[in-house]
Amino acid sequence: MLPFGPIPDALGRDVILSGDHADAVLAYCHAMGSKFGSPGYLRYLFGLPVNKALLSGYLMTQRALRETTPHACAEEIARTALELLSCLDGGREDGSVLDVFAGVGQMAYSYAKAGCRVQAVDNDRTTVDIAVNNMALAGLASVVEYRLADGPATLASAVNTDRRLSIVHLDPPWRGSYQYDLTRPFMLEDLAVNVQELVRLGLEGARLVVLNLPHNALSSQIDDLAALAGCNALVQYQYVADFPASFGQAPAYFFGRSGGGHGGTTGYQERHQRLTVDGQRVN
């Protein structure tokens, strides 16, 4: 039986997808693409089409199939974060990242490939075991340290012990089911954690805080969040080729403080970036 269907998200966490599920995952992508009007839709994981990634030995949970940051977006987020960082601090940052809700590792992978050292945290044992396998397979075990722990507590401890961080990455879990409700804006209250507090804390420990939210997040809330944290915000909308419009525009929010703002920008800025499915910029 295929591991897809009406499995509650909590159980989907424990359904591990491997090479045996490569064809089923491909069929799932095609079905999703057809349903949302983009028959060419295909997910990439760790630089490979997801079916080939699974056949190569990478693993994911069923829930991660919906939760994981698309490879193209992850690549762009890591690239942009490092560009912003070099502007914020004249290139003096060492590129250490704390990935607070790291999942099976797509963001950790992209940061590490971009030259960062990553401490990745997830509170789900199956997810962490899978991620450790994935980082080893990608040859990144020496630069990505995975820990089974509470993300917010790990962030608080890093800040309290004055651990030097360049980037705090937040891809927070949602409350309840991980289904998009496109009939209304996504509100910060729909998250299972207090993201305002995490952004504030993150900026105490790092030069840059990066936040992933669904594309229908209310931008005025982000504006308020930046004002509350006393920082600048850049929102970058990412359009991935062959992704349905409803999930091809996942925005990333970059929060930072410095005299000059985000590389010369100040206040709330928006940027739009088109991407190939394997993460190259299209100008």
Ligand X SMILES: C[S@@+](CC[C@H](N)C(=O)[O-])C[C@H]1O[C@@H](n2cnc3c(N)ncnc32)[C@H](O)[C@@H]1O
The single residue among 80, 122, 231, 233 that binds ligand X, judged by CB under 6 A, is 122
In angstroms, the CA 255 to CA 258 distance is: 10
Question: In this structure, what is the dihedral angle of CA atoms 172, 128, 78, 231, given to the nearest 10 degrees?
Answer: 30
Tell the smallest beta-carbon distance from residue 76 to ligand X (Å).
13
Burial of 257 (0-12, 13-18, 19+ CB in 10 A): middle
Using the rule CB under 6 A, give the single segment among 20-28, 80-88, 103-111, 218-226 that binds ligand X.
Answer: 103-111
- The correct pick among 68, 133, 166, 236 for binding ligand X (CB under 6 A) is 68
CA–CA gap between residue 186 and residue 96 (Å, rounded): 30
Q: Spell out, one character per residue from 135 to 154, where the chain touches ligand X: x when CB under 6 A holds, - when not.
A: ---------------xxx--
For ligand X, the closer of residues 154 and 273 by Cβ is 154
What is the rounded distance in angstroms from the CA atom of residue 156 to the CA atom of residue 114?
26
Q: Pick one of 38, 62, 119, 127: the residue that binds ligand X (CB under 6 A).
A: 127
CB-wise, 120 or 222, nearer to ligand X?
120
69 binds ligand X (CB under 6 A): yes
The least CB distance from residue 195 to ligand X, in Å, is: 12
Q: Which residue from 141, 134, 145, 3 is spatially nearest to 66, judged by alpha carbons?
A: 3
Q: Which stretch binds ligand X (CB under 6 A): 28-36, 97-105, 229-237, 248-256?
A: 97-105
| DSSP letters for 87-98 | HHTTT----EEE
Provide, rounded to whole angstroms, the least separation between the CB of residue 146 and ligand X. Answer: 11
d(CA 181, CA 224): 22
CB closer to ligand X, 172 vs 261? 172
Task: Give the nearer residue to ligand X in terms of CB position, either 67 or 76.
Answer: 67
For residue 235, CA distances in Å to 1, 127, 224, 240 come to 41, 28, 13, 16
- Which position among 75, 76, 93, 171 is part of the footprint of ligand X (CB under 6 A)? 171
- C-alpha angle 105/86/247, rounded to 5°? 40
- The verdict on 236 binding ligand X (CB under 6 A) reads no
Tell me: does residue 104 bind ligand X (CB under 6 A).
Answer: yes
Residues that bind ligand X (CB under 6 A): 64, 67-69, 101-107, 121-124, 127, 150-152, 171, 173
